[in-house]
Amino acid sequence: MLPLDAAAYTNRWRPRHPGEKAFLSLGLLACAVALPPWPGALIVGVVAGALLLGPAGVRPRQAWRVLSVPLGFVAVGSLPLLVAVGGRPWIRFEPSGLPMALGLAARATAALLSLLLFAATTPLADTLPRLTRLGVPAAVTEVAALMYRMLFLLLDSVHAVREAQASRLGFRTWATSYRSLAGQGGAIFVRAFDRARRLEAGLALRGYTGSLRIEVEQRPVSRPFVAGSAVLLGTVVAATLALRGVVA
């Protein structure tokens, strides 16, 4: 199981309605995008992180395993703002780009934490069936669910093939490693194609008519949670504007 899925199924907010968590996390995301990066991004990031590790009950190690790779992309994406091209020397450090780089990194990190607040507390199996009620075509949600299921099957195939190759010393040298990677890609493609064909045959034998009927667990929406989320979002906006005025 992927770290994100493990966190989504083991947190304390798992029984809550996905709409409640979407309202809170998307509201924080909107604040991270619309409010000034300083101090708006800092406040949104702290609030989202505190909710994630506190009331939601996601363990810090789980959160770090999920965040480590996206944070690397944020850092790499911010570095070009610190570099100037042209003149003498042709490529050089640009100090004036430091505020922009920090603002971009802060805003992106706050938005990432806001999205993680929803993704790490809500399994995809709880979200996809409810999207059809919002007007999303059933074909889109079904394709997404099938791709999600196939992802785990392909990861299992990659692990099995890699273990078999490693047992045969397939990664002993650079040459054998390249040969093993090429064989791994071919084997995974064949397995994926075979699984897709068997899945299509299984659906046809079960009388597939263009839509999959999935029973969705009924969960009431907590009005206190929604009201508290609205108050929290209003507090974030007010605190950002107040601190912005003090700094200005």
**pTM of the full structure:** 0.79
Peptide bond into 39 cis (omega under 30): yes
- The whole-angstrom separation of Cα 80 and Cα 93 is 10
- Least confident range of 23-37, 97-111, 206-220, 234-248: 206-220
Would you put residue 76 in left (φ > 0), alpha (ψ -120 to 50) or beta?
Answer: alpha
Are 113 and 47 within 8 A, CB to CB? Answer: no
- The whole-angstrom separation of Cα 177 and Cα 181 is 6
> Domain extents for the chain?
3-122+220-247, 136-205
Q: What percent of the chain has pLDDT over 90?
A: 22
How do residues 126-137 score in pLDDT, each as one tens digit? 888 778 777 777
Q: Whole-angstrom distance between the N-terminal and C-terminal Cα of the chain?
A: 48
How do residues 152-207 score in pLDDT, each as one tens digit? 778 777 888 888 888 888 788 888 888 888 888 888 888 888 887 887 788 777 77
